[in-house]
A = this chain, B = another copy of it.
C-alpha cells in the first residue's frame, strides 16, 4: 500500500508533525519509523532510586522550558502537562580563571578582576547587538557574514576580552548550551542561534523568559509518549532504523536496515543531520544540503544527576548553580575537572538533587574514564563548590549521549566555521522529502520548542501538497512556500572593511612619534 506520509524519526519533531497532520486530516494514512526502542529522541525521562526503596523520575535529556517558548508551552497545555519553576534562590558558585571558588548572589558574575567584568559586559552588549542582525533563516544575509563565519567564538571573544575568567565564562556557556568548546563554533552560527532564542542571555540564563526558566512535572519525555497516544500506538513503529530512501516518479520508498519497505507520497525526515548522512538517498542530496549535513557536528555532553537525602545547599543559602572551568585535576589524560555548569534538580515531588554537565573537550576526555572515575571526580568537585555534605550522596545517574545509538551526541548540532552559507538548505525540502528536527527550526532552534516548531512547519509543507484546500496563505509563512523565507543569492555579501585594531595601533604609534618629535623640537 502507498501511505500518504512516512515520518522518519520518533522524537519530538517527528511526532509533532505526525500529530498535526492527523489533526488536520484524520483520514491521512501515516506511519512513524523510529530507529530506537523508545520515542523521545534527545528527551529521556528515567526512574532513579532515591533511597528508602523510593524511586523518582529525572530528565537525562532536554529538561527546561521558558515562558517565551510558545510552541512548547502550547504543546504542554494541549497534552495537559504542567511546569514548575527552576530553583534559583541563594548564592551561586563560580570557578574561573584562577580556579578559586567564588560565590555571588546578584546577576553580576563574581570574576576576580573588575576589568574582566567590564570586558565581559561590553562583550555581551556587543554580541546582543550583533545577534539581533543575524537571522537564523539565512545567516549569510547579515552584514559581514562571510568574515564572521570564518571566525570561531574563541578568536572573536579574544579580540574583545583578555581576562582569562571572562573568556572561560563564555567557553563554559558554549559547553553547557552546545556541548562544544568556543574553539569549535562559528561566531556567526552562535549569533544566529542566539537571535532565534531572542538574545544571547535568553540562551544562558535561568531567569524569566530565559531557556532554563521552568521544568516539566514528570519529565519532558512525556511529550513524545502522549503524542504517540494521540497519533495511535499502531502508527509508531519502534526499532525500525531507516537504511535508504529512494524517490520515484510519484512516490518515495523507505527501506529499513531489516529490508522492510514503506511507500509514501511524502516523507518527513525528522532525524538529526548527523544521522541523515548515514542513510543512503537516491537521488543523493543536492550539493548545499549534502555539505551542511556533513558539516554540522553534534555536541559531546554527559549529563549527571546526583541524588541527596536533603537539599543541604538550600539550607546553606546556595541555589545549587555552579559555573566552572572544571578546575585543576590530578587525573591523568584529562585537562580539567569534569564540571561545566550545575543546577538544582530537586523534583516537584521534593527529591533533592543536583544536575550537571561534563561537556565539550572535557566531555570527550572524561568519556575515556570509567563511570566510577567520573562519579568520584563529580562528587569531589561538588564538595569543593557546595560544601563537604556533597560527599554524602544517595545515588548518581549519568547519561553519555555520545554512546546513544541513532543520536551520537547531545544537545545539538552546531555550526563550524565557513559553512553557514549552506545552512538554510538544511531546512529546504528535496522533491518529496521534507525536513524537521530542532536544527531546522527558526524559533528557539536547538530547544524542545524548536523541535515542535519545525515539526509543525514540516506538517504544513506536506499538507500543502496532499490537501491544499486545508492550508491557508498565512499557514505557509516561514515554510518553503513563502518566498520571503527563501535564501538570498550570495553575491551581495558585504565584506568587512574599515579600520581594524592593528590599523589603530599603527595610527597611534605614528601619533606618538609625531607628538614626541614635536615635543623635542620645542
Contacts and interface: CB of A to CB of B under 8 A. Distances in A.
Interface stretch (A80-88, A452-460, A514-522): A514-522
Contacts of A518: 515, 519
A505 interface: yes
Contacts of A185: 418
Contacts of A502: 159, 162, 501, 505
A505 B501 CA distance: 8
Nearest to A511: B512
A154 interface: yes
A507 to B, nearest CB: 9
Best-surrounded residue of A180, A418, A422, A518 (most CB of chain B within 10 A): A418
B150 A418 contact: no
A125 B153 CA distance: 27
Contacts of A149: 183
Interface in A153-188: 154-155, 158-159, 162, 180-185
B297 A294 contact: yes
Identical copies of this chain, number: 2
A137 interface: no
B515 A332 contact: no
A368 interface: yes
Interface stretch (A52-60, A260-268, A342-350, A485-493): A485-493
Nearest to A331: B491
A416 B512 contact: no
Interface residues of A, number: 68
A364 B150 contact: no
A287 interface: yes
B368 A286 contact: yes
B361 A421 contact: yes
A288 interface: yes
Interface in A278-324: 278, 284, 286-288, 290-291, 294-295, 297-298, 300
A403 interface: yes
Contacts of A490: 333, 335, 365
A184 B419 contact: yes
Given A150-B155, A364-B291, A491-B335, A418 B184 contact: yes
A118 interface: no
Contact of A516 (B332, B333, B515): B515
A408 B516 CA distance: 61
B154 A152 contact: no
Interface string A482-504: 00000001110100000011111
A95 to B, nearest CB: 17
A402 interface: yes
B287 A150 contact: no
Contacts of A288: 364, 368
Contact of A295 (B290, B297, B419): B297
A334 to B, nearest CB: 8
A438 interface: no
A181 B418 CA distance: 7
Interface in A5-20: none
A24 B468 CA distance: 69
Contacts of A181: 150, 418
* Interchain residue pairs A-B with the least CB separation, the first 8: A150-B183, A519-B519, A184-B418, A183-B418, A150-B154, A505-B505, A287-B367, A512-B512
28 contacts: A147-B158, A150-B155, A150-B181, A151-B152, A154-B417, A159-B502, A162-B503, A181-B418, A184-B418, A277-B277, A287-B364, A291-B364, A295-B297, A332-B489, A334-B491, A335-B491, A335-B493, A361-B418, A361-B421, A416-B416, A416-B417, A505-B508, A508-B509, A508-B511, A508-B512, A512-B515, A515-B515, A519-B519
Given A150-B181, A334-B491, 20 more contacts: A147-B154, A151-B152, A151-B154, A162-B502, A180-B418, A181-B418, A184-B416, A277-B277, A284-B403, A290-B402, A291-B300, A294-B297, A333-B490, A335-B490, A508-B508, A509-B512, A511-B516, A512-B512, A515-B518, A518-B519
